[in-house]
């Protein structure tokens, strides 16, 4: 008896394949045909879930964002306060090859933002979700008046480090990323908890 298809899992698999194609060749390379080839199946494997590219771009966003919720428990590691926020910042900056590929695909979409409503949806929805995750973890750490500026500050910090790590991965080993993230939190007046080891600059 054939195994039932997990529709969410399959859609997420297709969305991740689309990101790999975007990272390698940009928006022109992403077609339903190239996506089917990347997945090692026929084009009907893709069209069963997505009838066109616009629908696919929306799905990439929605599937990725929905996958974040179960990930957050793992990212938080049961931590609270400063450590919970630092774990989120670590997660937001790519260090693994797969994560760098995903960010490269996202960056490849930037010049095409005005071409399709679906690409605009991608950036707006992803930004809203990232800011919501930061806001949730900052709420008890900074005064209310500083909350939104602090969210913007940390979003700019993680975006900047991410772009640098994608462009020059050899210059951004994990220990250097860690150093910058910890210094970023100090910029908000959030010192490391007592007894926590300091990240060494490399």
pTM: 0.76
Phi, psi of 40, rounded to the nearest 5 degrees: 70, 30
- Which of 194, 163, 161 is closest to 175 using CA atoms? 161
Between CA 157 and CA 184 the distance in angstroms is 7
Structure tokens at 179: 């150093």
Predicted local confidence at residue 201, as pLDDT: 45
Between CA 202 and CA 191 the distance in angstroms is 20
Q: Which residues, including other chains, have CB under 8 Å from residue 12's CB and lie 6 or more apart?
A: 63, 64, 67
Predicted local confidence at residue 195, as pLDDT: 61
- Parse the chain into domains and list their residue ranges: 7-187
Structure tokens at 90: 């670590």
Between CA 130 and CA 135 the distance in angstroms is 9
pLDDT tens for the chain, 202 residues long, are 445 556 777 877 888 888 788 777 777 788 888 888 888 888 887 888 877 777 777 777 777 777 777 788 888 888 889 999 999 999 999 888 878 877 877 777 777 777 777 778 888 888 999 999 999 999 999 999 999 999 999 999 999 999 998 889 889 999 999 999 999 999 999 877 766 666 554 4
Give, rounded to a whole angstrom, the gap between the first and last alpha carbons of the chain: 56
CATH architecture under which domain 7-187 falls = Orthogonal Bundle (1.10)
Helix/strand/coil for 163: helix
Predicted local confidence at residue 183, as pLDDT: 94
Q: What is the DSSP string of 88-121?
A: HHHHHS--SHHHHHHHHHHHHHGGGTTT-HHHHH
Predicted local confidence at residue 198, as pLDDT: 61
Predicted local confidence at residue 71, as pLDDT: 81
């Amino acid at each position: 008896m054939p195994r039932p298809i997990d529709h969410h899992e399959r859609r997420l698999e297709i969305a991740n394949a689309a990101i790999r194609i975007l990272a390698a060749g940009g928006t022109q390379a992403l077609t339903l045909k190239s996506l089917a080839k990347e997945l090692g199946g026929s084009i009907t494997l893709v069209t069963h879930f997505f009838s066109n590219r616009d629908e696919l771009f929306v799905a990439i966003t929605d599937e990725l964002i929905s996958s974040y919720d179960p990930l957050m428990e793992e990212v938080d590691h049961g931590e609270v306060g400063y450590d919970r926020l630092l774990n989120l910042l670590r997660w937001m900056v790519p260090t693994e090859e797969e994560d760098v590929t995903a960010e490269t695909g996202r960056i490849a979409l930037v010049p095409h933002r005005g071409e399709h409503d679906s690409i605009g949806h991608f950036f707006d929805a992803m930004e809203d979700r990232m800011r919501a995750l930061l806001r949730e973890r900052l709420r008890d750490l900074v005064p209310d008046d500083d909350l939104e500026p602090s969210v913007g500050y940390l979003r700019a910090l993680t975006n900047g480090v991410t772009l640098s790590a994608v462009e020059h991965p050899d210059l951004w080993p994990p220990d250097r990323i860690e150093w910058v993230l910890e210094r970023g939190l100090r910029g908000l007046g959030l010192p490391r908890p007592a007894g926590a080891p300091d990240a060494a600059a490399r």
